[in-house]
Amino acid sequence: MREQLYRKLTDKKALIGVIGLGYVGLPLVREFYHAGMKVMGFDVDPEKIRKLKAGKSYIEHISSSLIKELIKSGRFEATDDMKQLNKPDAIIICVPTPLSKTRDPDMQYVEGTAQAIAKRLRRGQLVVLESTTYPGTTAELVKPILEESGLKAGKDFYLAFSPEREDPGRKDYTTATIPKVVGADDKASLELAKTLYSQAIKTVVPVSSAAVAESAKLLENIYRCVNIAMVNELKMLFDRMGIDVWEVIRAASTKPFGFQPFYPGPGLGGHCIPIDPFYLTWKARQFEQPTRFIELAGEINTHMPEYVVWRLMEALNDQGKAVKGSKVLVLGLAYKKDVDDVRESPSITLIELLRQHGAKVDYNDPHIPRTHRQREHDLRMVSKDLSEKMLKGYDAVLIATDHSSYDYEWIVRNARLVVDTRNATAKIRNGKSKVIKA
C-alpha cells in the first residue's frame, strides 16, 4: 500500500482531497493544481461550493479567473458531500480551530472532520492535519477517532501533521515558496507526507514527530504575540511620557544586529496570533506548568482596543464632545492592510466597544464592501463611500487598518479629528495637529 501511494504521488496520479476551502485550503488547492494533480475540495458551506462551481472566488487574492480555470480543467471538483471522502488518496484537513469563550481550544471542527473521514477511511489513504492546534492533537485526538474505523495508523492508513503558514496579501512569499514543516509518528507516514507536499511546495522540512510540528507552529506565533505585546505596552508608556513609539522603533532598527522591529497596533488580528498561544497555555495546565509570558502578552494585546477607544474618548473630550452621540468612522475592517480577511480583526471589537459607549459608527474598507456573520459577531454593516463631505460629517475618523489605497493626506485634510492606530499619517505634510496617535 505504501509503495502504491508513493508511486501515485510521485507520478502525480494521486487524487488530493482538501477539507476546508478557506484562506488555507483554497491556496493549497491552487498549488496542487499548478503541480498537475487532481484535487477534490470539501466544505460544509454550500454557498462556497456554489460559488466555486460557478467559477467565482470569495477570497480576494484568489482570482475568479483561476477558479474558472480550475473548474474548466476537469482537475478540480468542489463538493459538500462528505460521503466522497473515500475517493482521495491523500486528505488534508484545513478546518478552523477557534477558542471558546473561556479561551479553551474549541476542537469541534477537527473532531467532526475526523469522524467524517473515519466513516469512509480506506486502506492506503494518507491523512494530514494542517489546522493549528495544541501539541498532541494528532496523536491524542485525531488518531483514535480515525482508528475507530478498525484501521491502524502507520499500517493500514497514514497520518501526519503539517502546520499551515499562510499570510494573506504577502507578495514576497507564496504557498508554494514558504517552507513546509511536516511531522509524523511513524516512518511511513512521514515519508508519504513529505512526498505529498514535495509535489507542490518548493521546500519541505521533516521533523521527528507530529507533536514537534504542532509545537513549531505555536512557537512561531507565540514569538510574534509576545513581542507585539511588548511594543504595545511600550506604546502606552511612551504615550504618557510624550515619546513617539514609532520613532523609537525606527531608531532602534538602525542597529544591524540583535534587534528585530515589531510594531504596535489596535489589537491582534488574523486567525493565528490572537488564538494559537492559548492552545499551548491550555495544554500546559495539564502539566501544571505556568505560561506567564504568554498569558501576560494575551492580556496586554486583548486590552489594546479598549486603550484605543479611551484615547479616542480623550481626544473628543478635548474638543468638548462626549463619545455618546458622536459620529465615528472606522477606516479599515480587515485585520491587516490590503487584504479582505476579517478573522479576529480588532476593528470588529473597536466598533462594538464604540457602540457600547453610545457612538454612531460607520466603516469604510475598499476590500470589504459589507460585513458577514461570524461565529461571535454580526455587525450588519455596509462600507461607506469616502468623500470630502462625508469625512467632514464625522466627529472622529479612526484609522484601524492602514490600507495602501487610502490617501491619508486627503483624509486628514477633510476630517475634523483623526485617531491613528497604525502610524499611517506619519508622512503627511499638513494637518498633524488633527492627528492623535493611539
Q: Which residues are catalytic?
A: 272
Q: What is the SS3 string spanning the chain?
A: CHHHHHHHHHCCCCEEEEECCCCCHHHHHHHHHHCCCEEEEECCCHHHHHHHHCCCCCCCCCCHHHHHHHHHHCCEEEECCHHHHHCCCEEEECCCCCECCCCCECCHHHHHHHHHHHHHCCCCCEEEECCCCCCCHHHHHHHHHHHCCCCCECCCEEEEECCCCCCCCCCCCCCCCCCEEEECCCHHHHHHHHHHHHCCCCCEEEECCHHHHHHHHHHHHHHHHHHHHHHHHHHHHHHHHCCCHHHHHHHHCCCCCCCCCCCCCCCCCCCCCCCHHHHHHHHHHHCCCCCHHHHHHHHHHHHHHHHHHHHHHHHHHHCCCCCCCCEEEEECCCCCCCCCCCCCCHHHHHHHHHHHCCCEEEEECCCCCECCCCCCCCCCCECCCCCHHHHHCCCEEEECCCCCCCCHHHHHHHCCCEEECCCCCCCCCCCHHHEEEC
CA distance 79 to 72: 16
* 347 and 330 Cβ atoms separated by less than 8 Å: yes
CA distance 275 to 226: 13
Neighbours of 84 (CB within 10 A): 14
For residue 82, the Cα-to-chain-centroid distance in whole angstroms is 25
